[in-house]
Homo-oligomer: A and B are copies of this chain.
Amino acid sequence: MRIGELSERTGTPRRLLRYYEEQGLIAPGRSANGYRAYDENTVDRVLQIRGLLDAGLPTRIIRQILPCLDKPRVIHFRDATPEMLATLEQELNRMTDRIRCLTRNRDAIAEYLAEVSRHKAG
């Protein structure tokens, strides 16, 4: 598919699709006329990228973790350098921290809303 369709299907401005490519997050082919050619699973990948960006990860990190998330999992042991593994472990920890923080605060908001609605009902 071309960039317009991908943009529509992912709700992502074309500008950003090109930006993600520039950042090495996606790598579309090119058709004869020079247009970018995306395959079907790029849709999911873009959504995944956007989710991670929205969760505070910078493109630099996303670029590093994306290859580990491909299904079916194929491990390129060239890439699995000790530094890379250390980075991954560190990011994994940061993600866990984020999850904790988000969960705690989300639950607090939920409690607040529950209490407000209890008040209105009571």
Contacts and interface: CB of A to CB of B under 8 A. Distances in A.
Contacts of A106: 92, 95-96, 99
Contact of A115 (B75, B92, B101, B109): B75
B108 A68 contact: yes
A94 B103 CA distance: 11
Interface of A: 48, 51-56, 65, 68-69, 73, 75, 77, 80, 85, 88-89, 91-92, 94-99, 101-103, 105-106, 108-113, 115-116, 119
A80 B110 contact: no
A59 to B, nearest CB: 13
A78 to B, nearest CB: 12
Contact of A113 (B89, B97, B113): B89
Contacts of A48: 101, 105
What is the count of identical protomers in the complex? 2
Given A48-B105, A99-B99, A92 B113 contact: yes
A113 B92 CA distance: 10
Contacts of A80: 116
